[in-house]
Amino acid sequence: MRILISPDKFKGSLSAGDVAENIKAGLCDRVPDAIIRTLPMADGGEGTADVIREACRGEWVNCAAHDALGRAIEARYVWLHDRGTAVMEMSAAAGMWRIAPGERDLLRANTHGVGEMMKDAAKRGAKEILLGLGGSATNDGGVGMARALGFRFYEAGEHELERPDELVRLTKIVLPAVVAAVSAANPRTSMQPSQLPLQAKIIAAVDVRNPLLGPRGATRIFGPQKGGTVDQLETLEGALTRLADVVSRDLGCDLRDTAGAGAAGGLGFGLMSFCRAEVKPGFDVVAEFIGLRSAIEEADVVITGEGRLDEQTLEGKAPAGVARLARQLGKPVFAIVGSGSETPAVRALFNGVLVLARAGITLEESITRASELLQERARELAQMM
């Protein structure tokens, strides 16, 4: 029997690689003759760079940057030398994990450090930059990133705007004065190549399809999770609306309603508008990088999983993507998850779902005992296959 183990991380507990290895250990106890391959998976959020690094034999690169509140940090991204590709996560610089709960300030938090990482990759000679959008502490529409790349944002009177909340007064965007040409297959703006900031193709990997504005936009949906108050969210919605209007006028593009524009506090919008980035579903991007389809084709059984399996999993998350591809290729697929509920849609997607947290085991206990319980559930799963 050939078994492919391709899970996402268990957030706050284990990396995707650790999850895969624990499942493998449990299976080996029951089916020692099985040919088992582990292929950790991600969907564009946190953990994406490490998954691609492991699959493609990349190396970590450190660079100086700033966090969402402007403090000097050392960020890192993955360099794939053979491809000339930099794989980075915006959260490495502007992630929520860097900001203590008492420090959160959406009116000030920005993506400047993300632009610094992109510039570092460009200096290294990157032909392509893959940027995973997820885990952000920001809601600036990518303006911080754009400022790091040389764009400038002004209000009347030529006063430069720097904070996200100041964008409600935005009257003019000035493009970088001295920039390199960009090779982009499908230009998305009216800017000329000589006016664009990076000599690289940029792909933004997202696991959400939210637009920039409105009830499903960056501010309304994700702002409360980042500590934004009702008044702050009102201000930031107005700021991003003004930004989209001025971008439309000065850059000749209007991408506010594009799926994924609202990812990472509107960074998806900023990357498309200022860098002609292509926004793609994170699962599809990662699956292509690591060769998931061919791995499933070679397997008899597929096992995936994540920390919590629910209806949101079905909206572009890694386990759902693995399951759908396995179904398409006619392979049985199972999931081992930290917690979750088997709705009709979930039951239709998987041949079986095993949960770490069950009667007698609290959610907190399942997190602290994740390695042990993963192996336990894998042994149970071996009896089902």
- Tens of pLDDT, residues 240-274: 999 999 999 999 999 999 999 999 999 999 999 99
> What average pLDDT does this structure show over 317-338?
93
Specify the pLDDT at position 184: 39
**Residue 240 in 3-state DSSP?**
helix
Specify the pLDDT at position 177: 58
Specify the pLDDT at position 74: 97
pLDDT of 7 above 90: yes
Share of the chain above pLDDT 70, in %: 93
**Residue 191 in 3-state DSSP?**
coil
pLDDT of 194 above 70: no
Condensed to tens digits (0 to 9), the pLDDT of residues 286-312 reads 999 999 999 999 999 999 999 888 767
Q: Where are the alpha helices (DSSP H) in the chain?
A: 16-30, 48-56, 91-94, 112-123, 143-148, 230-251, 263-275, 282-290, 292-298, 318-328, 344-349, 363-368, 370-384
Specify the pLDDT at position 181: 35
Measuring CA to CA, how many Å separate 55 from each of 42, 86, 125, 319?
A: 12, 14, 22, 18
The pLDDT mean for the chain works out to 90
pLDDT of 327 above 60: yes
Condensed to tens digits (0 to 9), the pLDDT of residues 42-59 reads 988 888 999 999 999 999
9-13, 15-19, 21-25: which range is least confident on average? 9-13
Question: Which residue shows structure tokens 């096992």?
Answer: 303
> What average pLDDT does this structure show over 305-325?
83
84-98, 176-190, 208-222: which range is least confident on average? 176-190
Report which of 293, 294, 303, 286 is spatially closest to residue 207, judged by C-alpha positions. Answer: 286
Specify the pLDDT at position 191: 52
Specify the pLDDT at position 185: 36
pLDDT of 385 above 50: yes
Specify the pLDDT at position 187: 44
Measuring CA to CA, how many Å separate 375 from each of 28, 117, 300, 301, 365?
A: 9, 38, 20, 17, 15
Specify the pLDDT at position 197: 64
Condensed to tens digits (0 to 9), the pLDDT of residues 201-225 reads 999 999 889 999 999 999 999 999 9
Specify the pLDDT at position 196: 54
Q: Superfamily assignment of 2-39+292-384 in CATH?
A: Glycerate kinase; domain 1 (3.40.50.10350)
Specify the pLDDT at position 242: 98
**Segments making up each domain of the chain, as ranges:** 2-39+292-384, 48-283
pLDDT of 19 above 80: yes
| CATH C-level class of 48-283 | alpha beta
Report which of 239, 241, 251, 204 is spatially closest to residue 88, judged by C-alpha positions. Answer: 204
